[in-house]
Amino acid sequence: MNYQDRWLLPAGITESLPNEAAFLEQLRRRFIDLFASWGYELVIPPMIEYIESLLPPASGRSLELQTFKLTDQVSGRLLGVRADMTPQVARIDAHHLKREAPSRLCYLGTVLHTRPNNFASSRAPMQMGAELYGYKGIAGDVEIISLMLAMFEEIQLQDFCIDIGHVQIYQALVDAAQLDAEQQASLLAAVKTKARAEVADLLQAWQLPAQQQDMLLALLDLHGDAEVLTQARQRLAAAPAVVHQALDDLQHLHQQLPAHITCHFDLAESRGYRYHSGVVFAVYIEGQGQAIAKGGRYDGLCKLYGRDRPATGFSTNLRLLASLLTTQASAAHTAIFAPASDDAGLKQRVAELRAAGEIVINGLPEQSGTPQEMGCNRELRYLDAEWQLVTL
């Protein structure tokens, strides 16, 4: 390693310089205040935990692979650096709060991934989200998605599409087919890529009843606008009752969302189905290869922490949201310069300006650089026996 390479950051790791950091902090405050206005309380989970707590069995193999691990020099136990804050918040609700009434919690913090999720994406996203615990009905999912939409409205983010599915539709049909673990894995891989010919070959090879084959194949066609839900009631008429309840939930969800929101339904959605248990959703915007927010219902996760609590929520990457905005607030050239002086009147004037919300930068004796170079567009000058603001 040469001398200059010592200052390089690892691949996928970024830092924020003053203007970006100020903008991110501004967004953070606005979102946390928004969540609070809906009754969502802020929690701050630790960056590092015992690996058993960070990776409960339902979290899946992908999260385990994304988690950095190290040995605790105090206890000798294996630790993990959080790659997802959702299990941490579930632990807090189940193990610490122990409420009977629904809990509304929100969070914001950096997570660390062993590898980027997408090409050139960050390995240290600023994960922000909200979770609703203790309520099983579809009204909880409606609230979570509505809060997410309120967050987008707060920053005037438009022209996005919500991709919505329900993992119980796929899972119920698979359960009814009584496939073994190996068969389920093969079918899931084919369904994820919507490889219709491959799915058809698998179902025929397993000699499933024609009706079950037709319904599983129908899932590959059932994607599009809300009309898909009507088509599904016809093509999945013989499906188990849980499928029809899931369709009812999706219909109700769609009716509760604002009419101008673009929704895309995909009834073959199996993203994270081992982790989620009901409605799942992801938000996409043109020009972004990855979802800008995602979430869903994950009943059962809290049970791993001692309490069987239904749960639903969403998360996003604050850095990614900030990058989508065309204008960024900047602290540059908005401050006031106060000359180096021990004058009591100057100190009083500086205190008054700061109390009024102004940024005042004190000059230092014999310092180099101009006020403008320090981001000042005004300065205090002693004129007519008082300290006055003068535009630079």
Q: What is the CATH number of the domain that holds 20?
A: 3.30.930.10
For residue 64, pLDDT over 50 is answered with yes
Between CA 54 and CA 63, with CA 59 as vertex, the angle to 5 degrees is: 75
Confidence of residue 85 (pLDDT cuts 50, 70, 90): very high
369 shares a domain with 348: yes
Q: Which residue has the higher pLDDT, 170 or 1?
A: 170
49 shares a domain with 71: yes
217 shares a domain with 356: no
**Average pLDDT, integer, range 109-124:** 85
Q: Are 173 and 219 in contact (CB under 8 A)?
A: yes
pLDDT value of residue 8: 87
Instruction: Please report where in the chains the tokens 């606008």 appear, as a residue.
Output: 225
Q: What are phi and psi of 349, to 5 degrees?
A: -65, -40
pLDDT value of residue 272: 56
pLDDT digit string (tens) for 127-168? 999 999 999 999 999 999 999 999 999 999 999 999 999 999
pLDDT digit string (tens) for 315-365? 999 999 999 986 554 445 689 999 999 999 999 999 999 999 999 999 999
pLDDT value of residue 98: 87
pLDDT value of residue 274: 61
Q: What are phi and psi of 258, to 5 degrees?
A: -55, 145
Question: For residues 187 and 193, what is the distance between their CA atoms, to the nearest angstrom?
Answer: 10
344 shares a domain with 215: no
Q: Are 68 and 112 in contact (CB under 8 A)?
A: yes
- CA separation (Å) from 94 to 51, 85, 133, 294? 18, 14, 9, 22
372 shares a domain with 234: no
Looking at the 3D structure of the chain, how many domains does it have?
A: 2
Answer yes or no: is 4 within a domain.
no
Give Cβ neighbours of residue 125 (< 8 Å, ≥ 6 apart).
110, 111, 113, 317, 318, 319, 320
pLDDT digit string (tens) for 353-364? 999 999 999 999
- The pTM score is 0.90
Q: Which of 269, 296, 324 finishes a domain? A: 324
Pairing of β 160-166 and β 262-266: parallel
For residue 122, pLDDT over 60 is answered with yes
At 392 the three-state DSSP class reads coil
